[in-house]
Amino acid sequence: MKNDIMSYCGDEVLDAADKNWDGANKKSKFGRFAVVAAAALVGAGLIAAFAVAMAQRNVVTPPPDTADVLTTVTDATTDSSTEDDNYVRTDSDFGLIFTKSKGSESVYVVSGTAGGGAEAAPPKVEFRVEGIIVKVKQKSVHEDVFTSLSGGMKYRLMSFDVLDVVRGENVPDTILYLVPEFYYVDLSGYDFLYMSLMQRGFEGFLMKDVTTNELCEFQSPVFTTSVENPALGDVIAFNNGVFDESLWQNENWFYGYQFARYMMEDYPDELVVKRGCTEQYMLDRIKEKLGELQISEKDAPVVFYAATAPEELKAALEYVNSGTFRCEMHGKQVWYQRYINGCPTNESFYIRLIDNTVKYGNVTFTEADMNGLYNLGAEVERLSAQYKENVPNPPHFDPGEKELLSLKVEGYYDKTDKGVLQFITTTWTYVTRENNTYYYDQTFTIYENKEAREISREDLSKLTGHDMSIIGENYKYGEGIEMPWC
């Protein structure tokens, strides 16, 4: 069986795709900068694999109705029936439903910060007129912190009353907005704001509440700014009828503001606002920008709702209810990946909203497949707790005086012709700062018949049918990889 390569793409790849979503846009005079690829240290080969897998999929018959196993399991399984399975609480203010989390896909036991890379390149600052454009007033802020099912970026959740819709169709009266935690700032002190948004999810969209360690299901659409960094121009504040620059000057947004300030002083015609400008001036500039980009009103983004989805998509959206699925929405494409016990699997499919088609992968987990699976999510949490107490040494080389940059434990379920492979990957990343050189090591542990055994990357590659660069780091263990400085 040729397994689903796309399912191996982790948050490092998807976050990079999010951050560079607007990379094809025409750049301003200020925005002509080279971007260094050093940020793609982990999973660099997965981006190409992701693109190939997406391009080569064929439309097939939807998988049969299945359900995650919730009963009749051994003590080795999860998704087992416990009192926690019936636990549900709701948050009516934000339209959220919470259930108990069943483990973690991955845990960074040690997590450091790499130097250099694409983040050091000057960013493009603009109000992205291609997005959903709304005039809003802050309503409330959720006290918890959220992540995607696979962890990664941490978010705060805010709600806004919609005062006017400049661009977009089917926009709800209340905007649920995910802002990266670092960029969160109280916006209640402004008379109103204009935001350029993209839809991140719709009814049934799942996230993890890391404050309470619960799964969180949204009952209405949720949005982010067009680029998930609001400090780069997609949020504009007004007070007393004029543009209020103080929002961009807050401490957490100052990195973006230093470039925005330069543009306001040296290239003011490239922004949609200028110091002291009125709301009408900004609206006129937005209209001019749309004209320059030759974007017509008929191309306005349409907010998608599962409840009003066309008939062609209903079977796929119903199938998502058969278990736990991570959802990633990018423009007119929605990608789903099945999770079991908090860990990803190689079952995935995606929906194309541009033509209302569904493209399924070639792997489907049935009830029989999930009966008796080892609880990898709980094992990831157990191992990570153990390693935090006593960090293990890498098995294939002596790091000496090298700095441990990260130690990550992650679980995965991979269905093959011979059954479901259940394995945990532990990855060590070391760095020598003086020459910006990185060193990797990994172990792979397979769980079967209530026992655990280590396996080589080569043998795991043979069992899964995946190239070794998809299974793990595509480097010789302990061999230095020198990365360019910015």
Predicted confidence at residue 122, as pLDDT, reads 72
Give 47-61 pLDDT, tens digit per residue. 233 333 333 333 333
Give the distance from CA 380 to its chain's centroid.
20
Across 401-407, average pLDDT: 93
32: phi then psi, degrees, rounded to nearest 5: -85, 80
In angstroms, the CA 320 to CA 349 distance is: 10
Confidence class of residue 421 from pLDDT cuts 50, 70 and 90?
A: very high
In angstroms, the CA 469 to CA 40 distance is: 14
Across 5-28, average pLDDT: 39
Q: To 5 degrees, how large is the angle CA 66–CA 321–CA 7?
A: 80
Q: What global pTM score does this model have?
A: 0.79
Confidence class of residue 139 from pLDDT cuts 50, 70 and 90?
A: very high
* Cβ-contact 174, 160 below 8 angstroms: yes
Confidence class of residue 146 from pLDDT cuts 50, 70 and 90?
A: very high
In angstroms, the CA 230 to CA 474 distance is: 34
Share of the chain above pLDDT 70, in %: 77
Average pLDDT of the chain is 81
Residue 80 above 60 pLDDT? no
Coil/strand/helix, residue 424: strand
Across 266-292, average pLDDT: 94
- Is the torsion defined by CA of 353, 356, 357, 361 positive or negative? positive
Predicted confidence at residue 123, as pLDDT, reads 81
In angstroms, the CA 18 to CA 151 distance is: 15
Predicted confidence at residue 84, as pLDDT, reads 55
Predicted confidence at residue 464, as pLDDT, reads 87
Across 397-408, average pLDDT: 94
Confidence class of residue 73 from pLDDT cuts 50, 70 and 90?
A: very low
Predicted confidence at residue 45, as pLDDT, reads 34
- Spatial neighbors of 179 by CB under 8 A, at least 6 apart, are 155, 156, 158, 224, 225, 230
Share of the chain above pLDDT 90, in %: 63
Give 343-367 pLDDT, tens digit per residue. 999 999 999 999 999 999 999 999 9
How many Å from the N-terminal Cα to the C-terminal Cα in the chain?
A: 42
* Cβ-contact 381, 84 below 8 angstroms: no
DSSP letters along 231-246, please? Answer: GGTTEEEEETTEE-GG
